[in-house]
Amino acid sequence: MQLLLAAAATTLPLAVRAQEVACGNVEETSCAKTEVQPLPDVESTSVHLWSASASAGISTLDDGPDGSYRALSLTRSVGRGYVRASFMRYHGTLLQADTALPSNYYVGTIGTGGNFDNWVIDGWVSYGRQVYGDIDSSAGQRKSTGPTASDYYALGGDFGRIVTLAPNWYLTSTVAGSFAHGKLLRPAPTGIDLVDLETDEPTWSGTATVRVDHAFGASRRHYIGLSLSRNWTSNAVSQLRFGPPVEEAGSLVPGSLGSKHVADGWFEVGATANMQLTDNLALDLYGTRRFSALVGNTVSAGVSLRKSF
């Protein structure tokens, strides 16, 4: 028997850098570029060393299910760098044959980075839990007959350069890489007496991004930007195969279970806006569109409100 399941990793923006809100590197969401400002490398004159943000966003797969997230983060400035802690809840649904697999991710992330002579660097590590929802198929809804939750962890980093093109115009080029490990619930086919199982889904990802930003306003504290990125993942589609079932403890289980991972690459374009509403309050907006992806194209959007203190 062979089943195809789109692995969540393809909708995960490598853009879940620690500097980019609190999205934590969760596999199924295009959380986003909300706190990335191409400021020149100068010591800040602000007396605010702390900032807190609340974020929310949504991603829509063409002819597929939506995903949404909410996140909170706390950041401490340290010289030209920062340290950040964040927590995110993400809800999404994967489709397997005639079965919908909703789940919630609860992920915490610790990250650090900074701007050093217009060289930017970030690193992060994430840990959380994926909680499986009710399995929805043509036979109706039901609970999992196997696992109900699994661990999720990820780590990654990025490195880039900011170049001043003209007064108030900046070009930022970055490369990023990450590794994530989670599991996928594999519901037993409808009408067959098999227990639900999980497969391990290790995923390597990489991206290269070029972004142009323009600073405007009386104090040049507002930014708008456009970006183009090339993305790659080792696990775009997880291909499940298992052999003839055998009886174990009174239940039929697959004799063998294997998962083949299919790699993919795609392009993504994005737009961002960073607006300084007051001396200590900022609004960040983003929108992205993914093209030429094996599992379908995605439109994502989000908003973040940041308070400095």
Helix, strand or coil for residue 43? coil
Question: CB of 187 within 8 A of CB of 101?
Answer: yes
Residue 221 confidence (pLDDT) above 80: yes
Query: Within a domain: residue 235?
Result: yes
Phi-psi region of 97 (alpha: psi -120 to 50; beta: other; left: phi over 0): left
Q: Which of 13-17, 159-163, 173-177, 267-271 has the lowest mean pLDDT?
A: 13-17
Q: How does residue 254 score in pLDDT terms, banded at 50, 70 and 90?
A: low
Determine the 3-state secondary structure of 258 from DSSP: strand
The residue with greater pLDDT, 39 or 34, is 39
Cα Dmax for the chain: 74
- Answer whether residue 224 is part of any domain: yes
Query: pLDDT band for position 270 (50/70/90)?
Result: very high
pLDDT at 8 over 80: no
Question: Of 210, 209, 207, which is closest to residue 176 (Cα–Cα)?
Answer: 207
- Please give the model's pTM, rounded to 2 decimal places: 0.83
pLDDT tens string 147-157: 999 999 999 99
pLDDT at 239: 82
Q: Which two tokens stand for residue 112?
A: 């650090």
pLDDT at 14 over 50: no
- Residue 29 is assigned to a structural domain of this protein: no
State mean pLDDT over 10-26: 33
- Would you give the DSSP letter of residue 10? G
Asked if residue 34 belongs to a domain, the reply is: no
CB 176 within 8 A of CB 156: yes
Which residues lie closer than 8 Å to 168 by C-beta, 6 or more apart? 214, 215, 216, 220
Residue 35 lies in a domain: no
pLDDT value of residue 67: 93
Burial annotation 116-152 (CB, 10 A radius, 16+ → b, else e): eebebbbbbbbebebebbebbbeeeeeebebeeebeb
- Report yes or no on 6 lying in a domain: no
Six-digit token string for 66: 């939506």
More confident position, 251 or 139 = 139
> Which CATH number do you get for residue 144?
2.40.128.130
The two tokens of residue 152 are 């999720």
> What was the pLDDT predicted at 266?
97
Of 2-6, 98-102, 178-182, give the range with the top mean pLDDT: 178-182
* pLDDT over 90 (residue 57): yes
pLDDT of residue 291: 93
Q: With contact defined as beta carbons under 8 Å apart, do 46 and 110 qualify?
A: no
* Residue 37 maps to a domain: no
> How many other C-beta atoms lie within 10 A of the C-beta of residue 271?
16
Do 37 and 274 touch, CB atoms closer than 8 A?
yes
Structural domain includes residue 32: no
Q: What's residue 243's pLDDT?
A: 66
What residues make up the domain containing 201?
A: 48-308
Predicted confidence (pLDDT) at residue 192 exceeds the cutoff of 90: no
Average pLDDT, the chain: 83
Domain count for the chain: 1
* pLDDT on residue 64: 80
Distance between CA atoms of residues 14 and 31, nearest Å: 9
